[in-house]
Amino acid sequence: MKTIKYTLIAAAIAASHTGWAAVPIDTRALREAVTLDGIQTHLQALQDIANANGGTRAASTPGYEQSVEYVASMLEAAGYVAEIQSFDFPYFMENSPAQLEQIAPDPRIYPYEAADGFYTMSYSGSGDVAAPVQSVDLILPPDAASSSTSGCEAADFAGFTPGNIALIQRGSCTFLLKAQNAEAAGASGVVIFNEGQPGRTDAILGTLSEPSVNIPVVGAAYAVGEDLAVGGAQARLIVDAVSEVRTTKNVIAETQSGRNDRVVVVGAHLDSVSEGPGIQDNGSGSAGILEIALQMAALGTEPRNKVRFAWWGAEEAGLLGSQYYVDQLTPREIKNIALNLNFDMIASPNFVRFVYDGDGDATGAAGPNGSGNIEQVFLDYFTGQDLASDPTAFDGRSDYGPFIGVGIPAGGLFTGAEGIKSDDEAAIYGGTAGVAYDPCYHLACDTEDNFSFEALDEMSDAAAHAILTFAMTTSAVKGTDKGSDKAEKAAETLEYQGNKLRR
């Protein structure tokens, strides 16, 4: 593993940028102990578990239960006490591909799970309906200056004919609220189509966040909405899905030593999607922090601040494991958490070294006060290694969301998902422009062959450095950082809930 000389000069520069002064921590021993071989041992174990359980490790499945047992057993063998935190969560899975077609006046079938077609909203109800399509307060063409409020109020459905399929435009409120209002008005199904401004035209991969809607709901492309908004349109909509409450688990273990009033929570989600084994997403983060925890124990590390390692369940269902954990905390326990470090996908095959933009200066969406100081630790590390990095926004797509929602500073690393690598990024990081950072994102091919050794090496080193830095610091992480004054978003305003849009 690579090492750096983390100099006093670099620390002074960091302090001048953030207002957070800390004595430099020598993290070389831990970074050298955290090896690729060690991490790959865990990745292989997760692959073997998936192979023995239908190719998946999705929350509540036997593959996930065995993943929990593996992590807990490794922690226990290293001297940790592994807490298994069980919780109920809303489970959703489609039994067969959904269907959406216009049957009059211009018959056509819209493609399922395609950018120019539609996706089923997570937690949609089931049904097979054929009915007239009725538009609900649409703005066609869209207003470039303001967002649509289509379906956001019960009054939008005045005059709605019960039994019709409601055609609703994406806009300022959640998909859940739109669907609930439509169902209350007697709609037999709901098509929510994208708003139509630049960047908001493709089919919507969205979530209703909870299983409270009993009619089929899909998220469609703007062009589909334009088609169905034609007077006299009739459509057929079919969704066949399971939406029910199941039980799954988080795994939590912490160091025996360290201040209880300055806890460093280090998290990664352990579950995969149902479509595949999830070795990159998020076996990479799970295996990385597991090896860091094991090597801290092997080295006899006694941190000044308690380090709490967590492997979250049901992240792919909408950050539900981390949300449950945060919801159980008392106000005092929340105050005692100094920061959250999140490692979700750290080995993408076509990677970029993304660092969460804690102070919001690059993305306009800052984390809670102190998040800029976390970002700076990563930036200083990569600078010391002569490695480039780029900012990524706090948009709600991973398990930091519940923590920043209660004001806990957060940060972490990410190497990219379904986003497309640009020419500039390829020039800096190598790889292939015009191709997804992870071409197997949420697919069956996310296997032991779907990761970059280079990225896993570099990002696990950076993770180990940051974890030990915050474990050993005598400084308050929040310091005088003003990240909260730079467009900080509370959890309820985040556009995503996990990997799916919520509004």
* Strand partners for 388: none
Rounded to an integer, what distance in angstroms lies between the CA atom of residue 67 and that of residue 70? 5
Q: Are 442 and 275 in contact (CB under 8 A)?
A: yes
**In the numeric block, which tokens belong to residue 117?**
């077609």
Tokens standing for residue 446: 């996310």
Contact predicate 417/316, CB 8 Å: no
Whether the CB-CB separation of 374 and 338 falls below 8 Å is answered with no
Structural tokens at position 378 = 């990563």
Question: What does the DSSP 8-state code read for residue 272?
Answer: B
What is the bridge-based pairing of β-strands 410-414 and 354-356? antiparallel
From CA 132, how far away is CA 212, in angstroms rounded?
A: 24
Q: By the 8 A CB rule, do 460 and 340 touch?
A: no
> How many Å separate Cα 467 from the centre of its chain?
20
DSSP run (H or E) holding 294: helix 283-298
| Residues 218 and 119: beta-carbon distance below 8 Å | yes
**Residue found under tokens 């120019």:** 116
Strand, coil or helix: 269: strand
Torsion of CA 266, 271, 277, 281, to 10 degrees: -40
Looking at this protein, which amino acid is placed at residue 38? G
Instruction: Give the CA distances from residue 153 to residues 168, 176, 185, in Å, rounded to whole numbers and listed in that order.
Output: 12, 12, 11
Compute CA 123 distance to the chain's CA centroid, rounded to the nearest angstrom. Answer: 18
DSSP for residue 100: E
Query: What's the CA angle centered on 435, arms 389 and 496, to 5 degrees?
Result: 70
**DSSP reduced 3-state for 225:** helix
Token pair belonging to 129: 């309906």
Q: Which of 279, 204, 209 is nearest to 450 (CA)?
A: 279
Q: What are 27's two structure tokens?
A: 């993290």
Of 94, 315, 375, 488, the catalytic one is 315
Q: How far is CA 408 from CA 24, 329, 335, 369, 477, in A?
A: 23, 12, 8, 8, 10
Between CA 201 and CA 187 the distance in angstroms is 24
Write phi, then psi, for 159 (nearest 5 degrees): 85, 5
Handedness of CA 218, 405, 389, 318 (dihedral sign): negative
* Catalytic status, residue 210: no
Are the beta carbons of 377 and 442 closer than 8 angstroms? no
Catalytic residue numbers read: 315
